[in-house]
Amino acid sequence: MLSSFPNSLASTLILMTAADMVYFLRLIRRGEEREEMKVYVIQLFATKSEEEALKLFKSLKTKGLPVRVDKVNDWYKIRIGNFKSYEEAKKAFLDYNLENKGYITFIDYEPSRT
C-alpha cells in the first residue's frame, strides 16, 4: 500500500503513531466529504448589508426565482441553486433569463444560510 505514496509521505506514515494515523484518516475522509460539497451556483448579487440583501431576496422571490441568501464572511450573497455541473447551472441561467444579471460560480464550502 505504501508503494503508491511518494517516498516522503510513505516515510511519514511509517513513523506515525496509531492516534496520528486515525487523525490522518479522518482528514482524508473530510477531504472526500468536501469533494461532495463542490457545486455550481448562480450568483446574482453580493452586499455587506443584510437589510439590502433581504430586500432584494424578497423582490426576486415574488418574481418566482428560487433564490436564497448565503452569508459568507461579511457578505450576503443572493444565489440560485446547488448544481452538480456547469451545464446544469448554465441551463438554469438561460431558463431564468439571467444574462447580464448574474454569473455562474463554483463553491466548495458550506455557507451559512440566512
For residue 6, is pLDDT > 90? no
**pTM (two decimals):** 0.64
Q: What is the pLDDT of residues 23-40, one digit of tens each?
A: 656 655 555 554 556 899
pLDDT digits (tens, 9 = 90+) for 51-92: 999 999 999 999 999 999 999 999 999 999 999 999 999 999
Higher pLDDT, 50 or 18: 50
Q: Residue 12: what are its φ and ψ, rounded to 5°?
A: -65, -40
What CATH fold (topology level) applies to the domain 39-113? Alpha-Beta Plaits (3.30.70)
Alpha helices in the chain (DSSP H): 7-15, 18-36, 50-62, 86-95
Domain extent listing, the chain: 2-36, 39-113
